């Protein structure tokens, strides 16, 4: 009887260990968070840089793919109206243009790792540089990326919580 019980327990343990999987779960948006930062002492008419940071909040390492313009920024004034960058973008036949070399990037993002990318020299003018007049503003960052996993490409576009700033 003891031998049968011991054998049954051993078989159950083998089955349970065999059923365990080290496979990742499918990637989902809430595996990630996005934070936006700007310097604290902002002066009117002076250039400053906004930084978006993607954080892998999961226990898995994910290979993310993204273009040069992965991070974008929306700046709103105290009336909720979107504000332009205040820097001179390139002009082409009286149209404002931003040149983006749509090069692809791949980054292996470890658990709890933070990642920022300003497009390096592939975005002109940079979309994270602003000059603003005196006032109160809100900044929201967006990040667009893709995760190839298990034969499928998962597309994500996530948004940060709004950041309030004051330009004096």
Domains and CATH numbers, the chain: 28-167 (2.60.40.2360)
Sorting pLDDT into bands at 50, 70 and 90, what band is 86? confident
Cα(52)–Cα(117) distance, integer angstroms = 8
Task: Name every residue whose Cβ is closer than 8 Å to that of residue 31 and which is 6 or more positions away in sequence.
Answer: 56, 57, 58, 60, 62
**In the chain, % of residues over pLDDT 90:** 68
In terms of pLDDT, which residue wins out, 4 or 148? 148
C-alpha distance from residue 114 to each of 35, 53, 60, 65, 134 (Å): 10, 6, 13, 15, 31
> How many alpha carbons fall within 13 Å on the CB side of residue 65?
11
**120 contacts 68 by C-beta, under 8 angstroms:** yes
pTM, entire model: 0.80
pLDDT given at position 91: 61
Establish whether the linkage from the previous residue to 125 is cis, with ω within 30° of 0: yes
pLDDT higher than 80, residue 72 = yes
Sorting pLDDT into bands at 50, 70 and 90, what band is 148? very high
Q: Which tokens in the block code for residue 118?
A: 């300003």
pLDDT given at position 103: 87
Beta strand pairing status for 62-67 and 99-100? unpaired
pLDDT given at position 23: 61
In terms of pLDDT, which residue wins out, 11 or 63? 63
Lowest mean pLDDT among 23-27, 43-47, 53-57, 132-136: 23-27
């Amino acid at each position: 009887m003891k031998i049968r019980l011991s054998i049954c327990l051993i078989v159950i343990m083998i089955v349970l260990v065999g059923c365990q999987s080290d496979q990742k779960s499918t990637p989902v948006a809430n595996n990630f968070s996005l934070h936006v930062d700007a310097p604290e002492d902002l002066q009117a008419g002076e250039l400053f840089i906004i930084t978006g940071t993607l954080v892998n909040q999961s226990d898995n390492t994910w290979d993310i793919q993204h273009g040069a313009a992965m991070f974008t920024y929306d700046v709103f004034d105290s009336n909720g109206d979107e504000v332009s960058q205040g820097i001179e973008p390139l002009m082409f036949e009286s149209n404002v243009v931003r040149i983006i070399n749509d090069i692809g990037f791949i980054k292996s993002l470890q658990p709890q790792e933070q990642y920022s990318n300003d497009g390096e020299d592939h975005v002109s003018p940079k979309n994270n540089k602003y000059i603003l007049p005196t006032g109160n503003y809100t900044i929201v960052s967006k990040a667009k990326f893709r995760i190839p996993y298990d034969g499928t490409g998962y597309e994500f576009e996530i948004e940060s919580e709004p950041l309030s700033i004051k330009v004096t």
